[in-house]
Amino acid sequence: MPSAPATAVSLSSVRLDRGGRTILRDLNLAIPSGSMTTVLGPSGTGKSTLLAAMTGELVPAAGHVQVFGHDVPRSARGLLAMRKGLGVLLQGNGLLTDLTVAENVALPLQAHTRLTASQRQQRVLEKLAAVGLADAADLYPRELSGGMARRAALARAIALDPPLLLCDEPLTGLDPIASAVIMRLLRQLNQELGLTCIVVSHHVRETLPMCDHAVVIANGTVLFDGSPEALQASTNPLIQQFLRGDPDGPIAFASTPTQQAA
State mean pLDDT over 161-176.
91
Instruction: Tell me: pLDDT of 3 over 60.
Output: no
Assign 124 to helix, strand or coil: helix
pTM score: 0.89
Residue 136: pLDDT band with limits 50, 70, 90 = very high
Does residue 15 sit within a domain?
A: yes
Does residue 52 sit within a domain?
A: yes
Does residue 6 sit within a domain?
A: yes
Measured CA to CA, the distance from residue 98 to residue 142 in angstroms comes to 9
Q: Positive or negative CA dihedral for 150, 156, 157, 159?
A: positive
CA 123 to mean position of chain CA atoms = 23
Does residue 126 sit within a domain?
A: no
β-pair partners for 243: none
Does residue 38 sit within a domain?
A: yes
Does residue 95 sit within a domain?
A: no
Residue 2, phi-psi category: left (phi > 0), alpha (psi -120 to 50), beta (remainder): beta
> How high is the pLDDT of residue 91?
80
> How high is the pLDDT of residue 43?
81
37-74 per-position pLDDT tens digit: 999 988 888 999 999 999 999 999 999 999 999 999 99
β-pair partners for 12: 64
Residue 89: pLDDT band with limits 50, 70, 90 = very high
Give the burial class of 103: count Cβ atoms within 10 A of its Cβ; 0-12 exposed, 13-18 middle, 19 or more buried.
Answer: middle
Q: Which residue has the higher pLDDT, 222 or 4?
A: 222
Helices 176-193 and 146-157 cross at an angle (nearest 10°) of 20
Q: Angle at the Cα of 151 (from 139 to 52), degrees rounded to 5?
A: 125
Residue type, 239: I
β-pair partners for 165: 87, 197
Count of structural domains, the chain: 1
Residue type, 25: R
Residue 256: pLDDT band with limits 50, 70, 90 = very low
Does residue 36 sit within a domain?
A: yes
Measured CA to CA, the distance from residue 124 to residue 156 in angstroms comes to 8
Instruction: Tell me: pLDDT of 259 over 80.
Output: no
State mean pLDDT over 199-221.
92
> How high is the pLDDT of residue 243?
87
State mean pLDDT over 210-218.
94
Question: Which structural domain range is residue 1 located in?
Answer: 1-85+164-173+203-262
In CATH, what number is assigned to the domain containing residue 20?
3.40.50.300
Instruction: Tell me: pLDDT of 260 over 80.
Output: no
Residue 4: pLDDT band with limits 50, 70, 90 = low
Mean pLDDT over the full length of the chain: 89
Instruction: Tell me: pLDDT of 262 over 70.
Output: no
> How high is the pLDDT of residue 252?
66
Q: Which residue has the higher pLDDT, 180 or 91?
A: 180
Pairing of strands 86-89, 70-71: unpaired
107-125 per-position pLDDT tens digit: 999 999 999 999 999 999 9
Q: Which residue has the higher pLDDT, 75 or 251?
A: 75
Residues 6+ apart with CB under 8 A from 203: 171, 179
Does residue 133 sit within a domain?
A: no
DSSP state of 45: S
Q: Which residue has the higher pLDDT, 84 or 214?
A: 214
